[in-house]
Structure 1
Amino acid sequence: MTKIAFIGLGNMGSGMCANLAKAGNEVRAFDLSADAIRKAEEAGAKGAPSVGAAVEGAEVVVTMLPAGKHVHQVYFGEDGVTSNAAPGTLFIDCSTIAVEEAREAASKASEAGFTYMDAPVSGGTAAADAGALTFMVGGPDDGFARAKPVLDIMGKNVFHAGAAGNGQVAKIANNMLLGISMIGTCEAFNLAEKLGLDAQTFYDISSTASGQCWSMTSYCPAPGPVPTAPSNRDYQPGFAVAMMLKDLRLALGAAEGAGAETPLGGHARDIYAKLDEDGHAGLDFSGVMKRLKGEI
């Protein structure tokens, strides 16, 4: 049994926290939402009234937060993690933040006597609930060895991407590819329909041909072929437009700093930004299909 503090019980964090508790760990959970804490308690965790109370005595701190500013505030702000954790505590941040924000957090944590691992996730809410996430982990080898048994409870794939910040590199590059491929998949299904080919027939052909991709076979944006896809529940997320837009902006910001050419990434960002501006931030990112069909 490991003593774990879990901070950030949103759509992803709630399932992750529940799986850690169900595995027999002593989990103390904190979130700004009392409702979220209550749900964590129902799943077997112990609710904490503050970050400090959650962290006190913990061997491992796991965080799942919205953005880099929240990560830095929770870890290094007044009454934050570093001012309450015991020396040597392992920090595992599963948030998706900028590469440089992760590297700065790792440096500050190390200076204070802690090990910080950036471990962003892929897989969405269903995978979080099922303990089937993919983790991309940046940080030192010894930190990865300590983190992996914890991450294995929450995920089915755990990869060490290298030094601090490399987990974020893997995540934003992967999600840029996902955003681009989803738009292409939507365009292909829309074209097939316009030319008289139904979605199921096109899926049966393309899913076994050279156009096959995850956006098609696991998350099909056309209603019908993949029953579990958000397209079959009116594009309720899932993975929302706002979250894809955040990741694309992180990817494009990192690309600019590195001098990497990402023209399709920029076009994908613009498409999701327009959906966001038009009031569709809460739509699943596969909802690009609705825009192409003129439904929104």
Structure 2
Amino acid sequence: MATITFIGLGNMGGPMASNLVKAGHEVTVFDLSKDAVAALVAEGAKTASTAHEAAKGAECVITMLPAGKHVEAVYLGDDGLLANLPAGTLVIDSSTIAPETARGVADKAEANNILFLDAPVSGGVGGAKAGTLSFICGGDEGTFSKAKPILESMGKNIFLAGGHGAGQVAKICNNMLLAILMAGTSEALALGVKNGLDPAVLSEVMKQSSGGNWALNVYNPWPGVMEAAPASRGYEGGFLVDLMNKDLGLAFDNAVKNHAAIPMGSLARNLFELHAGQGNGTLDFSSIQRLYKPE
């Protein structure tokens, strides 16, 4: 078992840290939310008053933070963790950030003889709680091999996508596709209901036909069709519209830099930005259904 510091106990980070504790690792946590920290301490984690204090003596530091600026604030600069961690420390960042930001942190880590892996996740809050996340990693094979046993305490599918930043590229491609599929699924359901179809029956038809996809099969956006889906609890919890917009922004910026055409991704981004602008930013992203079925 490893001595691990976990920084960032939000909707995803909290359950991830919890699974590390349950797996028997010695976990020290840090977050600005006292309630989030208290919940992990109640499960057996230790805590510290600062990120630096939390990282003392850690074999591995894991971060799960909202955006690239937060990752840079934690790791970079004279006061950042990378300038103060012992050589050989394993650092895993599971935040979803721009690939170039991940590469910048990786370069600084390498200069300090610290092992760095960008390892964004897929699977949502449900996957974080169940310990079935997919980790999409970027880094060298040696660091990946060292990190994999730790990641397996939190996830089911562990991928090495390529070098530093590759995990972030794969993640934003995945989430762009997810946004496209969710918008398309919502549109199809709304059209069927407009024509008098039962949304549950139509969903089953499409699931068993060529229109089946994750958004339809696992995360149905129509209220009442799938009991466990956020749509059936007022779109509360889950993966927020604001976070989807962040990821779509990362995909758009990357496409511009690489001269890649993403017409469907751009349209999905416009739809989700419109949806957020109508006051839905803190709802689950499947609430895009409301654009087609206003309540």
- Give me the TM-score of the superposition, normalised by structure 1: 0.98
- The offset of 1:33, in angstroms, is 1.4
- The offset of 1:182, in angstroms, is 0.2
What residue is the counterpart of 2:275 in the other structure? 275
1:1-296 matched pairs, under 5 angstroms: 1-295=1-295
- The offset of 1:79, in angstroms, is 3.4
Mapped contact 1:51–1:79 kept (Cα < 8 A): no
Query: Residues of 2 paired with 1:239 and 1:83: CA distance?
Result: 33
Query: Residues of 2 paired with 1:55 and 1:43: CA distance?
Result: 19
Which 5+ residue runs of structure 2 have no aligned equivalent?
A: none
- The offset of 1:78, in angstroms, is 4.8
**CA distances 1:157-201 after superposition (whole Å, capped 9, x unpaired):** 110101000000110000000000000000000001000110111
Q: Secondary structure at the match of 2:83?
A: coil
- The offset of 1:77, in angstroms, is 3.8
The amino acid of 1:173's aligned partner reads C
The amino acid of 2:132's aligned partner reads A
Query: Residues of 2 paired with 1:139 and 1:67: CA distance?
Result: 20
The amino acid of 2:180's aligned partner reads I
Query: Residues of 2 paired with 1:71 and 1:43: CA distance?
Result: 26
Q: Secondary structure at the match of 1:110?
A: helix
**CA distances 1:269-296 after superposition (whole Å, capped 9, x unpaired):** 111111222221101111111121122x
Query: Residues of 2 paired with 1:251 and 1:80: CA distance?
Result: 27
The amino acid of 2:21's aligned partner reads A
Query: Residues of 1 paired with 2:130 and 2:70: CA distance?
Result: 26
Query: Residues of 2 paired with 1:39 and 1:81: CA distance?
Result: 25
Mapped contact 1:62–1:91 kept (Cα < 8 A): yes
Identity of aligned residues (%): 49
**CA distances 1:79-131 after superposition (whole Å, capped 9, x unpaired):** 33223322110110000000110111111110111111000001111111111
Which 5+ residue runs of structure 1 have no aligned equivalent?
A: none
Mapped contact 2:83–2:112 kept (Cα < 8 A): no
The amino acid of 1:203's aligned partner reads S
The amino acid of 2:159's aligned partner reads F
Q: Secondary structure at the match of 2:169?
A: helix
Query: Residues of 2 paired with 1:68 and 1:287: CA distance?
Result: 26
- Give me the TM-score of the superposition, normalised by structure 2: 0.98
**CA distances 1:200-242 after superposition (whole Å, capped 9, x unpaired):** 1101211000000000000001123321111100111311100
Larger deviation: 189-198 or 271-280? 271-280
Larger deviation: 248-257 or 223-232? 223-232
